[in-house]
Structure 1
């Protein structure tokens, strides 16, 4: 296989307010590249995997910024579709400070990615991979993007390529009923499914608490491996062959939250690709905590850092 993982999703620019600022009154914004699927591919590349990400972008400096961010860590960007029309998707983040929660404002209308069709992409190259990674975020954008996500899943299965799906429900993009109609057929054919405890109820109507939700979701959907996060309560794994496991989550100081979930998925898939999803969850938990320590959606982690003890001392 040419790649370990390929994926498709919209490239974005994230503009973040400084701590203590609101968007309406902010005088400066921190600019970083973003995109859930690209974040997963990027971290896996840093961990030594061969990855490719495709999207559709308008030519210009903002698109160049996105391409530079992910190609710099080794993601193959050669399958990105470029166009002379449209604009780059943006999202704005107010980080929030307790008791005020963080807030995201999307500015994603009229981008070329929203009207993509399957015929625009090189599926022979993108399906020359061990694993295709898809998300509910991309499926939620428009009927056209949902169709491409479904096409990618079906084409992968037709060629015997494994599919990983991260439900990643966003209430600002669609409701639970809409999400279920699109995502359930993909989830039923996935080799590994990521779905939080909350999303399991909203999207699939699966009730329960703790690890029971993970098991119930696996039995309902039929995916052989289901990974379910539950905030600070822990992470749950349910497999058809080995049953259920619970993983502890340790709280860490947060500098920048977006991208931590993508880092967890990437770390878990890193282990899954080696045939050890349990070890993958341990890696994912560690890189997710490291993701919270620095700015940007893309987590920068060297493989050797996974072996270091966590702490505040300086490595000399």
Structure 2
């Protein structure tokens, strides 16, 4: 595959190389300053995906530098879909890990889930019109009826970031840095009509956003795992991330009690040279829930 192309208008190649070197050097200092609490055991695909619930917040406007990425599908059900090159548009959301009701993700999955933060950017691409049958994976919803949907046009690419330079342990980072999800619009937009309590899991937000209710409404997107050209995903990690499928639903949540402003930094190797982004959370408008496609369940 061709490597991803990153274009920053108004900068020459020499300037960009110097800029990238400075950013990577700064990241290295941050990484080395984080204490390592011992190696974490990789979760099974089933234990990670079944408890991976994300709450998606609208953010203040931000347009990244000109970035083109070539992405290919990873999930076995979608391997026949075309490889395509997309351009990152404006940032639309930050999706952060949460637990529903009194659930607690099992160990060791919790050690990874709490560091899965995805920044979602507008994209466009090929309309695939692919029919799928979705079933919920989380134990709280797994007895709900299956839904038949059509996966249509790509709308977002969600890529891994860290907030306020809080870097996960190196072994956790080696997995979460490769979680890239391509989000397609779906039809029909079936209502889930469930009300849950959401509790923040990431250390940066546990003290800033209190536990709150969310009314989960209409399905809007299916976010499926992809690999960016230039990424070399370790095989053990690939065996997990290829099973991460999240269905995004509209949600009604209370207003944030205080303003939450964050610094976001890309952790995927292909995007690590991009500048840090400032993001103010404007309120949660969607919840992403783990699903399986066509009865193909994550192993484990």
TM norm structure 1: 0.23
- TM-score, with length taken from structure 2: 0.24
**Which one has more relative contact order, counting CA pairs under 8 Å at least 6 apart?**
2
More strand by share: 2
More helix by share: 1
